[in-house]
Structure 1
């Protein structure tokens, strides 16, 4: 057992103050990822600040439309929320495709966003890993790469972000509310996570004492449809080889707006901007969907064991958009 101090926060301000004390501190909510990493020895915080009892577990309508999701809302509760199921099916489906029912009953919104990679080398203390020990090397490069990145990777790290929920929220243009030592601020979800660059140990733009308090979901355009599609090795309890979160708005057979985010292909939820730009104003046809997908994946750089992800991602994008376009007919 590696000893640590446990402290229960009484409010957001005290939680942030505890984390800003200069020691290795981690926030504890559901603990479904943090506790696993502590057991493996990957993470060894000196202090755990329990935020699970803070009043951050509400889901409420925003004045201008949209929805505010508290940071400690459980994944299972969010997936089953009637407004989420009706207005944001892409998010509900993404949540239900992640982990298992037992884990979804514990996992929280903020914790899901901040979960770390499930790269086997990151979790194996006997192997070098730049994400775990900066400067030690990346064992995945030249190793087993089937699950790893094809977009946005670097010579320092080829791991992928594991969240399904974050991919859906990226496609929804969600915004993350953060409370830190300097007060409150808002971070666009697509800017929350980082590509590895030469600092793969930094998963996000947050400082150690920054606490996620909520996520805001803007309203979707009237008539827009959304879905989440996940391709994996098993039907349940498996991380994505490729996933697609898509929002499609069609008027008179033409793509008025589209948002696409990919999972399982990069160090962060990958917003497919090239594909979106290629589709806006174009006919909503399978040929246009395929051209857009190919434009997005033109700069993909597969590793020795995951070149299959390129056609898999292309076909999954096309399939998801085709389904959404079919719903409009």
Structure 2
């Protein structure tokens, strides 16, 4: 590991000034991903700016019902918050599915959105990787890719985004607020993550030197009937090979509103807009759910060893929507 400096920041302007003064500095939240990448040599910052003392650790509800989640709120506090559990249960379920209790106690919401892929070629500095070293190639295309992307990938990168939390946030139209030395800004989560294209090393639309300050969840009554389901290769804590965040509002057997996002299928959380379009106004039954899943997965381009994901995600979507419809009918 490269020797590095360390400083604590106590307010947002101070944190931004420290990063601005050192182009090789990095912000440190809980460190549950960054420190691992430093150990492996993927990340080599000259200085860490610790954000844990910033006043960004609160969850508040605005007058219009928007839920504002501070960037340094820990995953544990997010999952346990009464408003989150009541209004966005899929969010709580996603966080609890994401890591062990020890990691949740350290990991921050802002850091969770910025965690890097766990693709073995990215984390091994002895191998080429376009995401880590642009222009060196993507050996996963012909090598180990059983957990690679089936949607939105390119010939330059097939890695998947690892966050469970981000999938649930994508389903509920979250908005990311940030600050730079030039002022305030915000990005919808749909715009926050960049398509992989031919620049897989550019993962988000955050401007250079930006600090995430909060995530906002607009009021969404449908989210109260929501669920997050994750499939992984072992029962203990592991990254998803497929996941679904879904919310369903059914009236008189017809889908009135729906939210659907998929995880572990693309370089970013995948909002299933094609599936949602099929579902709205249609009967809340297995045939409709299967047709919606097929509409979304029609664009899938699996590789030789990850085609199982198409079937897995299709079955997962149908199963979760069926459960939500049955609960609505009780």
Normalised-by-shorter TM-score class: over 0.9
Residue aligning to 1:287: 287
For residues 111-150 of structure 1, what are the structure 2 equivalents within 5 Å? 111-150=111-150
Listed as ranges, the gaps of 5+ residues in structure 2 are none
**Normalising to structure 2: TM-score of the pair?**
0.97
Q: Could you tell me whether the CA contact under 8 Å between 1:59 and 1:68 is conserved in 2? A: yes
Q: Distance in 1 between matches of 2:165 and 2:76?
A: 11
Offset at residue 181 of structure 1 (A): 2.3
For residues 2-81 of structure 1, what are the structure 2 equivalents within 5 Å? 2-21=2-21, 23-81=23-81
Q: Does 1:158 align with 2:149?
A: no
Q: Distance in 2 between matches of 1:253 and 1:24?
A: 56
**Normalising to structure 1: TM-score of the pair?**
0.97
Q: Distance in 1 between matches of 2:107 and 2:76?
A: 8
With 19-28 and 34-43 compared, the bigger mean Cα shift is at: 19-28
Secondary structure of 2:323's aligned partner: helix
Task: Give CA-to-partner distance per residue, 1:106-155, whole Å, 9 cap, x none.
Answer: 00000000000000110011110001101111111100111110000011
Residue aligning to 1:275: 275
Q: Distance in 2 between matches of 1:102 and 1:70?
A: 20
Q: Distance in 1 between matches of 2:224 and 2:2?
A: 50
RMSD, aligned α-carbons: 1.2
Residue aligning to 2:82: 82
Listed as ranges, the gaps of 5+ residues in structure 1 are none
Q: Distance in 2 between matches of 1:186 and 1:41?
A: 31
Q: Distance in 2 between matches of 1:148 and 1:206?
A: 25
Secondary structure of 1:137's aligned partner: coil
Q: Distance in 1 between matches of 2:74 and 2:173?
A: 21
Q: Could you tell me whether the CA contact under 8 Å between 1:248 and 1:321 is conserved in 2? A: yes
**Larger helix fraction of residues:** 2
Residue aligning to 1:178: 178
Q: Distance in 2 between matches of 1:213 and 1:223?
A: 23
Cα gap change, 1:107/1:156 in structure 2, threshold over 3 Å: closer, same or farther?
same
Task: Give CA-to-partner distance per residue, 1:227-258, whole Å, 9 cap, x none.
Answer: 00001111121111000001111122111111
Q: Distance in 2 between matches of 1:3 and 1:223?
A: 46
Q: Could you tell me whether the CA contact under 8 Å between 1:224 and 1:250 is conserved in 2? A: no
Q: Report how many aligned residue pairs link the two structures.
A: 329
Offset at residue 218 of structure 1 (A): 1.5
Offset at residue 293 of structure 1 (A): 0.3
Q: Could you tell me whether the CA contact under 8 Å between 2:88 and 2:223 is conserved in 1? A: no
Offset at residue 22 of structure 1 (A): 5.5
Residue aligning to 1:110: 110
Offset at residue 222 of structure 1 (A): 6.0
Runs (4+) of structure 1 moved beyond 6 Å? none
Residue aligning to 2:97: 97
Q: Distance in 1 between matches of 2:228 and 2:180?
A: 32
Q: Could you tell me whether the CA contact under 8 Å between 1:244 and 1:317 is conserved in 2? A: yes
Q: Distance in 1 between matches of 2:24 and 2:154?
A: 27
Q: Could you tell me whether the CA contact under 8 Å between 1:97 and 1:236 is conserved in 2? A: no
Residue aligning to 1:326: 326
Q: Distance in 1 between matches of 2:143 and 2:78?
A: 37
